[in-house]
Structure 1
Amino acid sequence: MKKVALLMSGGVDSSYCAYLLKEQGYEVLGVYLKLHRREELHTQNIRNIQKASEKLNINYTILEFQELFSKFVYEEFITSYKEGRTPNPCAICNPQMKFGFALQKALELGYPNIATGHYARIENGRIKEAYDKNKDQSYFLFGISQDAINRVIFPLGHSIKAEIKPTALEKLPWLGSLETYKDSQEICFVETNYIDILKKHYPVDTIGDIVDKKGNKIGQHQGYMQYTIGKRKGFRVDGAHTPHYVIGIHPQNNQITVGSKEDLAKNLVHAKPVSLPKDFKQIECSVKIRYRSPKIPATVFLNANGQLEARLKEKAYGVANGQALVLYDNDCIIGGGFISHSEIA
């Protein structure tokens, strides 16, 4: 019998994935990753997984990955904000934790494949956008190794998110009794907002100067770590009659630079490469500079410094250092990296 380790969160989607995989003839091992330190959430999730495992007659295991998660994901998250970048923790967690350490453990346990409830597809050894474009998560998966891609199963990749719960409840009525967490957040370790996380490590409420593009002081802000590129609220510009947007963050002197929306426009983006085909050369493709941003046609190549360089054929707004630059061939992932610099050329 085919064997697969399924990463389970304790929610309806991943529990339904276990059912689908069993229907496809797999021996399923449920795997719960303890990544963050929100123990009350872990306790609830594990109760849900215990119930699902009992109902579906599958085994499950719990992996204590808090130390690894802290080292590879959490510390990078807080360091990024300190250095004026806007991190993308899910894009770091996926290749390192879920399709890195968890896959390694699955292989050790004798399970050659790994499955998750991500909305994405695999086709011809490449990650592809989900059928449900509104819920597609391929952007966060660009950094997964080819070996992992060859072992991945995404049971929900061809599904419509809005149809999953009613379909699952119809087939498995007991799913309706799973507990749901009242403060569910997009980032698993953030309970309220990222500022509360940073406050545990840094003095984030240090008032600093707002400057314009020429360096003139034109107001004050509440602390540079509270701002990301493109933000237009939470600061005061003296005598302003039009909207101002954050266009630069300067940790070294606790300043932010603001300007007009057009000042946010960039058409040249550099990124530190993370995953690229071995024979990567200059290509014409489309790129995304944020999860919810539209794809933009671009010419992409590796420059003399070994950096990914994307020359965009349309202007992009709100390009933030630390976010992922992801390359697409139609709806298939080519590769990508983390943005280090952007400008108007």
Structure 2
Amino acid sequence: MNCVKYLCIDDQPEEYIEPLLDQLSTHNQNLQFKGMHPEEFASQFEKIQRLASEEHCFGLLVDLRLDQDADVDGNKVYYRGPTLAQELRTRMAEKDLPSFPIILWSMNDNIVHSYAPDSSSHDLFDAVYAKDDGQHPLGENVASEIYWLAAGYRELAEIHDRHSGYFLEHVIGLIEGDRNSLDPRLLSFLKGNVAFEIAGKVLNTLLRSEGVLASPAMLAARLGIDIEKSADSWTSLLENLMNCRYSGVFHQAWPRWWVHRIENWWSELASYKGSLRKFTAPERVTIINEKLGLKLVSANPIGENYSLRYSTVCVATEKALDPVDGFKVYSSRQDAWQDSRYVSAYAVLNRIKKSEWILDPLEVERFKQLTERLKNVKKD
């Protein structure tokens, strides 16, 4: 593994920032950070440009509010993280600066109240992390993502140098036959001439959404499997599905599987007797176990009388779900090739993780009808 070096620009005191950076470094000895207080814009840009040109794998970790605290000499800047990121992205597009990941990290309150409402700045950053989020601490997963973001940018640069362009076969690991199974609008969308634009499209359109690719949880749901209870058999199954795994840029931190390849694999396994949706979870698991000699365990339904023909995951409980037992979740932006997200009726009624999802407006009336039926049942 190559050494990845990040410049961290943050106006908070070193005694607060350094332990956080050290915490990330402990999870990967090849991940290093250099911290600095924000400086006057021209000086700041010059230092970033020099480091980006010198390092083999480089990235920038920047605070949202750079304009709050002065340094030990009383110097204070009057720009914020998005302003700096916008200028850097412009220079990258003009080829005055090599492309590298820009990661936003800030206090959770600043992200919620300053960053989240400003959608114009969202495309500037490859990832966003809260420094003080107790539910999602800066642990091993975050360190892995930060490392492979920089390594992935390096891979994109090498692809461009080797093939004189960013061809999808190399960027997202397409093999013969894949193009025929993918939405041509997706293939057109993923094209580009600037590394950071392609990186953002791959991350947000493929790796962080369900539809074309499936996350481990979504893969398990579609196959009807309980990952935890299946233990070693789940690991053995993934080895059997290696040919279905996404192998493009950033795959090391975001394990995903091509949905169309999974469907082809299933058709062969089930002797072309029907799609996955035709079978219940126990039936799917029985077929896989018999064919591969495994001891997989099928996933239990979220609620009583719920369908066992799973095809998605409840965003609140993270358990397998048939959309008929849930409600579509509102999304401000959803491409044609991306799957809709669902929350189970059980989670809606019990307000599980309510702050993390909003019902699609078209589902509100159906939810009201459900609550009315439940009221009538109680009366009877």
Normalising by structure 1, report the TM-score.
0.23
After TM superposition, the score normalised by the length of structure 2 is 0.21
Q: Bigger relative contact order, structure 1 or 2, given CA contacts below 8 A and separation 6+?
A: 1
- Structure label with greater radius of gyration: 2
Higher helix share: 2
The structure with the largest strand share of the pair is 1
